[in-house]
């Protein structure tokens, strides 16, 4: 009888250890997902500023061969950004530009930006240039300075 209790205790102990390991693994994965989704306040501010720069520009945005007003382009990019952020894929302003504002996720065709009568440029270059301007601005901390096209 004593041997049966020992085997029973061993099984119960093994089950508890297995449950603890599974709980730890789930907690670890949930923590990793939560931290992957969060962008730093600086990144969030820069991305917000890039959206404002686009919206306030007199530029047009080409997506899959059609040209859209800046406000319409911003709406599209915001939806795309929200989706990617929920997946935890946007971790920096540069990854925002690369994953959200560079090319169509459906067709793979690159986005373009055309300001005024100027030539169209790759949207990645346009957004990267605007980011550089934002970061070089002396009033960058908390600024919503309007950048020109």
Residue predicted with more confidence, 43 or 137:
43
Could you read off the pLDDT of 8-59 as tens digits, one per residue? Answer: 666 676 676 665 555 544 444 454 444 455 799 999 999 999 999 999 999 9
Give me the pLDDT at residue 20, please. Answer: 57
Give me the pLDDT at residue 1, please. Answer: 54
Give me the pLDDT at residue 141, please. Answer: 53
Give me the pLDDT at residue 144, please. Answer: 45
> pLDDT-derived band of residue 65, with 50, 70 and 90 as boundaries?
very high
Give me the pLDDT at residue 138, please. Answer: 81
In a domain, 12, yes or no: yes
Does residue 146 register a pLDDT over 70? no
Q: Are residues 31 and 16 in the same domain?
A: yes
Q: Are residues 31 and 47 in the same domain?
A: no
Give me the pLDDT at residue 125, please. Answer: 98
Could you read off the pLDDT of 81-124 as tens digits, one per residue? Answer: 999 999 999 999 999 999 999 999 999 999 999 999 999 999 99
Q: Exposed/middle/buried for 144, CB within 10 Å: 0-12, 13-18, 19+?
A: exposed
Q: Are residues 11 and 45 in the same domain?
A: no
In a domain, 61, yes or no: yes
Please give the residue range of the domain that contains residue 121: 41-136
Q: Are residues 49 and 107 in the same domain?
A: yes
Contacts for 39-45 with beta carbons within 8 Å, 24 or more apart?
A: 39/85, 39/90, 39/91, 39/92, 43/90, 43/91, 43/92, 43/93, 43/96, 45/142
In a domain, 69, yes or no: yes
Does residue 4 register a pLDDT over 70? no
Give me the pLDDT at residue 26, please. Answer: 46
Give me the pLDDT at residue 13, please. Answer: 66
């Amino acid at each position: 009888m004593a041997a049966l209790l020992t085997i029973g205790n061993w099984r119960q102990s093994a089950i508890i250890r297995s449950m603890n390991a599974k709980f730890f693994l789930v907690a670890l994965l949930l923590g990793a997902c939560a931290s992957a989704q969060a962008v730093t306040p600086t990144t969030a501010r820069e991305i917000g500023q890039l959206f404002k720069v686009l919206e306030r520009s007199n530029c047009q945005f080409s997506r899959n061969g059609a040209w859209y007003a800046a406000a319409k382009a911003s709406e599209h990019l915001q939806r795309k950004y929200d989706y990617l952020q929920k997946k935890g894929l946007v971790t920096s302003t540069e990854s925002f530009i690369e994953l959200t504002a560079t090319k169509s996720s459906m067709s793979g065709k690159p986005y373009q930006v055309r300001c005024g009568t100027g030539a169209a440029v790759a949207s990645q270059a346009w957004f990267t240039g605007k980011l550089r301007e934002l970061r070089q601005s002396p009033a960058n901390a908390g600024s919503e300075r309007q950048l020109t096209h």
